Chains A and B, each alone.
Chain A
Amino acid sequence: MRKMDGNGLKVVFMLCLAFVTTGGQSFESTVSQLLRDETEDLKCFVDRKKDLTCFWEVEEARNDQYTFMYSFENKKKMPCVVSSRFVLASNKTVFFCKLPKTLFFVALDVQVFRDGRTLYNRSLKAENVFFVDPPRNLTVMSSGKEGQLNVSWLPPLLKHMDDIMIYEVRYAVEGSHMGKVEEKAASTMLVLRDLQSGTRYKVWVRVKLDGVSYKSYWSSWTDPVFADTLPSDMDLLIVLLVLSIGLILFLLSLTVILSHHKFLLKKLWPDIPTPEHKFPGLFTVYKGDFKEWMSQNNGSIWGRSVHVFTEEPPSPVEILSEVSPTSYDTSPREERKPTEEVEESERTDSGLMGGWREPPHANWLMEQLRALQENPESLSQSTLLQSHDTYVALNQNSQHVQEVSERQTDDVFEETLPLQALFTTEGTSSLSASHSDLGSLPQSSGSGRLSSQSSFEDPNHTWPPKGPGYTYMAVADSGISMDYSPMSSSNIAELRKHRIYTNEYKNEIFGNKWPFSSQHVESGY
């Protein structure tokens, strides 16, 4: 029963002690902090109730007897009851004594004896060893401005001492170990400036007395409070960079456009083509009067435009041909090839030739030429050739022809001669019905000489035969190649009977590259 009473008293005592110390910072936390901060061996502090407590730590918990004596103003020394406690946070055992009455603004002498020997001796003043509680209700909010935070708190419960407190605010970016500290006196709010935008910050606050009338240790830090700064709406640097880049791009594009403005203008706004350059003077001199312009430039422009590639006026050549279905049908098969070739080549120029009908093939022409040689008078009535047209006559003087051909080959540019061809006589059918190249001058012996003559005789004048030395040939112009076929008198006679297809052929000699680009052929019956 007595043991239970003793144990019960101890429990009650511990509970009362715990109740007393729970109002503010706990005894253990205060002791733990002072064990770190206070350099004196005998550590003393005054709590918020203005009670002074002194304590000291021991290495090993032994059953030593400690005596604690104190005196104010050098008056009579009084004893203090020594107690012990194990501080879990520091893992140490401390002995402490809480004075029953504390006088301020007066000298206090404290002595600790262990087993009759002085362990500690200290003289202090109670108003200089205050230990204040940390600030209360720490609040951190955004101030509404970029990079700022509003920090506010309440002072610890310490009567009549609110105006002598100094606060220290510590803040750091969350996760960072580098923090900044700002001090504030006699005010319970602070604005943190120059913070990073859109960042989470951690804030602590602690307090101490200013030391003029009362001095204290720094309190412990409050629990940290987190807050976010406002994100930057518009980073000025980014805005400036974007604007400068935009300006540079604009200037570059402007430079490119100005340097190529002609090209771009031509592409986007092409000039309307005008034929003005084809009609020199029409719009400038004659003010668009085409009739007058035509009268002044009487056909020469047309001739020039048509014969733009010629180097000399063309010579009209009349081509004699005969439409003879029967003779055509009986012609050998092998001769059909050149004939067909002629037909095909002639069909390409049908628009110009005005409907060239079945031209005579080579053999048939050869026969006609033989007949003509035999009866040259039959040609006198021929109306094949107009007097003012150039006609083709063949000369049997092979030697002369050969010389001529050689000379002509060497000297004369092919395009200067209206027509030239060399044919062989004496029955040789070397007369090629088709000459792909007008300017070709095959060198063969016994070839005839081709000469061109243009006569401006009376239209009624018949074509006089040249005699037996001349052979008349039919020239088939396909537009691509010209076929020369000798004509006989019989053939010519037949031509008189049948419809005669005559072509006023104005030979246009072009370059080798372009033998027959433009030909003007008149057809007549």
Chain B
Amino acid sequence: MFHGSGLFALLLMVLEWTRPGLSSPLRPICDLRVLDLYIKEAWDAEAAIRACKDDCSSATNFTVPLTSVDFDVWEAMNIEEQAQEVQSGIHVLNEAISSLQAFNQTDVIQSHIDATISNIVSIRQVLRSLSIPEYVPPTSGGEDKETQKASSVSELFQIHVNFLRGKVRLLLASAPVCHQGVS
């Protein structure tokens, strides 16, 4: 029994040290070239889907976030408001793109869809590294006003590109963690 308790204590120490599955403090990723890489891949997907002219998939009516940015309004918002808008938009995009897997599409389109889903996971990790607050679902009964409807897959990926280029990038560029020590 003593040996069992000793092994258990050793296991707890190891788990505490590694902390698997828990949010470990990541090194802040302030280099915007990381996001720029995902934006470029989103461009490629949008171009490929535009080429097939909506014949790639039969899916329609997607709920997508708003992508428009009014700089005057945006700069008047605080970091939490900006973070909430970005996190909710990423959540909505992830659900819309993931819903495409239920439909039949070509292999080329399927590869782009898989890459986009993987990139969204990575962008979430980047936001986490910058200590951006996580997405908080709205209270029950309230609709998210910051959404719109996309009628086609092509439009869906256009929204995806614009959202990453706009709000997500502006949030990462103004992350307080990346500007610490700069007056």
Which positions in A face B, CB cutoff 8 Å?
50, 72-73, 101-106, 125, 127, 160, 163-164, 212-214
Contacts and interface: CB of A to CB of B under 8 A. Distances in A.
A213 B68 contact: no
Contacts of B167: 105
Contacts of B162: 105-106, 125
A213 B36 CA distance: 7
Nearest to B69: A104
A73 B158 CA distance: 12
B74 to A, nearest CB: 9
A73 B170 contact: no
6 contacts: A73-B66, A73-B148, A105-B69, A105-B162, A127-B165, A213-B36
Contacts of A72: 68
Contact of B166 (A73, A102, A127, A164): A127
A103 B68 contact: yes
B165 A101 contact: no
Nearest to B67: A105
Nearest to B162: A105
A430 B148 CA distance: 167
A103 B69 contact: yes
- The listed residue with most B CB atoms (<10 A of its CB), out of A72, A102, A164, A212, is A212
A101 B69 CA distance: 10
Given A160-B173, A163-B32, A213 B165 contact: yes
Interface string B52-78: 000000000000001111110000000
B40 A212 contact: yes
A106 B173 CA distance: 19
Interface residues of B, number: 20
Interface in B127-171: 148, 162-163, 165-167, 169-170
Contacts of A106: 67-69, 162
B165 A105 contact: yes
Nearest to A163: B32
A105 B70 contact: no
B71 A50 contact: yes
B174 interface: yes
A150 B182 CA distance: 28
B39 interface: yes
Contacts of B169: 213
A238 to B, nearest CB: 49
Contacts of B174: 160
A103 B165 CA distance: 13
A429 B148 CA distance: 170
Majority SS of interface residues in chain A?
Answer: loop
Interface in B19-67: 32, 36, 39-40, 66-67
Given A73-B68, A103-B70, A106-B68, A212 B36 contact: yes
A309 B104 CA distance: 140
A342 to B, nearest CB: 133
Given A103-B70, A105-B68, A160-B170, A213 B39 contact: yes
Contacts of B68: 72-73, 103-106
A518 B164 CA distance: 133
Interface in B83-142: none
B83 to A, nearest CB: 17
Contacts of A160: 170, 173-174
Which 10 residue pairs of A and B lie closest in terms of their CB atoms, listed nearest first? A105-B166, A106-B68, A103-B68, A105-B162, A213-B165, A105-B67, A212-B36, A104-B69, A50-B71, A160-B173
Contacts of A163: 32
A76 to B, nearest CB: 14
Nearest to A104: B69
A212 B39 contact: yes
Nearest to B163: A105
- The listed residue with most B CB atoms (<10 A of its CB), out of A50, A101, A104, A214, is A104
Contacts of A73: 66, 68, 148
Contacts of A102: 70-71
A71 to B, nearest CB: 12
- The listed residue with most B CB atoms (<10 A of its CB), out of A103, A125, A127, is A103
Contacts of A103: 68-70
A27 B138 CA distance: 46
Contacts of B66: 73
Given A50-B71, A127-B165, 5 more contacts: A103-B69, A105-B166, A106-B67, A106-B69, A164-B32
A92 to B, nearest CB: 31
Nearest to A51: B71
A72 to B, nearest CB: 6
Contacts of B39: 212-213
Nearest to B148: A73
Contacts of B148: 73
A17 B127 CA distance: 42
A190 B140 CA distance: 57
B170 A101 contact: no
Contacts of A127: 165-166
A162 B162 CA distance: 20
A101 B71 CA distance: 9
B22 to A, nearest CB: 33
B164 to A, nearest CB: 8
A106 B166 CA distance: 9
Contacts of B165: 105, 127, 212-214
B171 to A, nearest CB: 11
Contacts of B170: 160
Nearest to A73: B68
Contacts of B67: 105-106
A101 B170 CA distance: 18
A213 B148 CA distance: 22
A102 B70 CA distance: 7
B112 to A, nearest CB: 18
A106 B74 CA distance: 15
Contacts of A164: 32
- The listed residue with most B CB atoms (<10 A of its CB), out of A50, A127, A160, A214, is A160
B10 to A, nearest CB: 47
